[in-house]
């Protein structure tokens, strides 16, 4: 119920929900059913500010479905989602992205026909002057469009520099090697200036050395951009060495949650992984 004029100042203040910056992502009783299949079943966990939080589990455990729920691509059958203390269940993907949740994909999804620079600039849209007047200003190149454009390009180039792709900024994304595409996708996600970054199997297709480099890179991202990171990963040693806390999913259910050492020795986790391989 919205505040009414009869309420005192204190009453209105008391009803305001405080923005809980510490709890960046709060997943409550998240459930998603596809026909008869419970892809995600009553999963709850909190990702705290500045954490690198790992989400692991056997194939088909519901990890990517959970990512799709968190980013609004699919709607939960039941349960709630909170971002920095604010509920956003049922919101559309572009709204959630604008609020500050960015992601990458397991199978990289770049705009292949656009250049690396354009890919990154697309994600800066929400940070430029918008609306119908923004559209007109953009088409006619009136203020503030030229200034916006210059800043957008400069910021995008900084990000490309950081992932080592600045020299090839004008090359079409589809012409990049696999590893470069992964880094470009991360640069694009960062261009949104997210507070929470979701990485879906960032190490897929990398060799051992690249995986080591990836851990350092992800830590650097967290520190440099003061963001929180939630990642899905199959490669257990990488997750154990990198993550502050880990959640384990199996058949859509959360079977363990805690620091890497504890999770590694959890009998339910061992059972899930051995059962999967056996």
Partner 1 sequence: MNTTLILQQFLNGLAIGSVYAIFALGYTLVFSILRVINFAHGAIFTLGAYFTYMLLGARFGFNGVFANLALPFSLPFPLALLVGALLSGLVGVVVERLAFRPLRTRGADPLLTLVSSLGVAVALVNLIQYLVGAEIYTYPPRVLGSLPAAVNFGTSTLPVPVRTVQIIIFAVSMVIVVLLTYLINGTKIGKALQAVSEDATTASLLGIDTDRLILFTFFLSGFLGGVAGTLVGLSVSINGPYFGISYGLKGLAVIVLGGLGDIPGAVLAGFLIGLVESFVPAQYVAYKDAVAFALLFAMLLFRPQGLLGRAVVQKV
When binding is defined by CB under 8 A, the residue of 28, 58, 91, 118 that contacts partner 1 is: 118
Taking the complex as a whole, the smallest distance from the CB of residue 41 to partner 1 amounts, in Å, to: 24
Site of tokens 């997210």 = 194
Q: One symbol per residue from 29 to 68: x for binding partner 1 (CB under 8 A), - otherwise; what is it?
A: ----------------------------------------
When binding is defined by CB under 8 A, the residue of 28, 125, 155, 211 that contacts partner 1 is: 125
Q: How many CB atoms lie within 10 A of CB 88?
A: 17
Q: Which is nearer to partner 1, 196 or 272 (CB)?
A: 196
Q: Bridge-partner residues for 46, per DSSP? A: 26
Residue 69 neighbours by CB under 8 Å, 6+ apart: 30, 32, 40, 75, 76, 81
> Which token pair is 257?
């949650």
Angle at 219 between CA 177 and CA 56, to 5 degrees: 80
CA gap 160, 191 in Å, rounded: 10
Taking the complex as a whole, the smallest distance from the CB of residue 131 to partner 1 amounts, in Å, to: 10
Task: Single out the segment in contact with partner 1 by CB under 8 A; choices: 56-64, 93-101, 204-212, 226-234.
Answer: 93-101
CA gap 10, 166 in Å, rounded: 53
Taking the complex as a whole, the smallest distance from the CB of residue 203 to partner 1 amounts, in Å, to: 21
CA gap 131, 129 in Å, rounded: 7
When binding is defined by CB under 8 A, the residue of 44, 80, 91, 126 that contacts partner 1 is: 126
Query: How many residues in the shown chain lie near partner 1 by CB under 8 A?
Result: 29
Distance, C-alpha 251 to centroid of its chain: 22
When binding is defined by CB under 8 A, the residue of 42, 44, 77, 98 that contacts partner 1 is: 98
Task: Please answer whether residues 41 and 253 qualify as being in contact, where contact means their C-beta atoms are separated by less than 8 angstroms.
Answer: yes
Cis-peptide into 7, omega within 30 deg: no
When binding is defined by CB under 8 A, the residue of 103, 182, 183, 245 that contacts partner 1 is: 103
Decide if residue 122 touches partner 1 (CB under 8 A): yes
Q: Which is nearer to partner 1, 56 or 97 (CB)?
A: 97
Q: One symbol per residue from 63 to 92: x for binding partner 1 (CB under 8 A), - otherwise; what is it?
A: --------x-x------------------x
Q: Which is nearer to partner 1, 42 or 126 (CB)?
A: 126
The alpha-helical segments, DSSP class H, found in the chain are 9-15, 63-70, 93-99, 116-122, 131-140, 145-162, 178-191, 208-225, 236-242, 260-264, 267-277
Task: Please answer whether residues 248 and 57 qualify as being in contact, where contact means their C-beta atoms are separated by less than 8 angstroms.
Answer: yes
Taking the complex as a whole, the smallest distance from the CB of residue 121 to partner 1 amounts, in Å, to: 7
List residues near partner 1 by CB under 8 A: 71, 73, 92-94, 97-98, 102-103, 105, 109, 111-114, 118, 121-123, 125-126, 128, 135, 138-139, 149, 152, 188, 192
């Amino acid at each position: 119920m919205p505040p009414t004029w009869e309420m005192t100042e204190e009453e209105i203040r008391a009803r305001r929900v405080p923005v809980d910056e510490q709890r960046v992502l709060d997943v409550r009783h998240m459930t998603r059913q596809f026909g008869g299949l419970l892809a995600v079943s009553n999963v709850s966990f909190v990702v705290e500010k500045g954490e690198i939080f790992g989400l692991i589990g056997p194939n088909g455990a519901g990890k990517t479905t959970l990512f799709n729920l968190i980013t609004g691509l699919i709607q939960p059958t039941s349960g709630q989602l909170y971002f920095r203390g604010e509920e956003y269940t049922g919101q559309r993907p572009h709204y959630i992205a604008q609020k500050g949740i960015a992601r990458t994909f397991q199978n990289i999804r770049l705009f292949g026909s656009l250049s690396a620079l354009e890919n990154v600039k697309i994600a800066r849209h929400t940070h430029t002057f918008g609306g119908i007047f923004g559209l007109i200003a953009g088409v006619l190149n009136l203020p503030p469009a030229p200034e916006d454009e210059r800043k957008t390009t400069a910021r995008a180039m900084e990000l490309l520099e950081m992932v080592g792709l600045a020299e090839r900024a004008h090359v079409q994304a589809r012409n990049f090697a696999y590893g470069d595409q992964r880094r470009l996708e991360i640069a694009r996600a960062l261009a949104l200036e997210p507070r929470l970054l979701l990485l879906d199997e960032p190490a897929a297709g990398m060799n051992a050395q690249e995986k080591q480099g990836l851990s350092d890179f992800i830590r650097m991202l967290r520190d440099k951009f003061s963001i929180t990171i939630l990642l899905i990963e199959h490669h257990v040693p990488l997750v154990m060495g990198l993550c502050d806390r880990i959640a384990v999913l199996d058949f859509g259910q959360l079977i363990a949650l805690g620091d890497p050492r504890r999770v590694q020795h959890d009998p339910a986790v061992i059972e899930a992984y051995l059962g999967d391989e056996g």
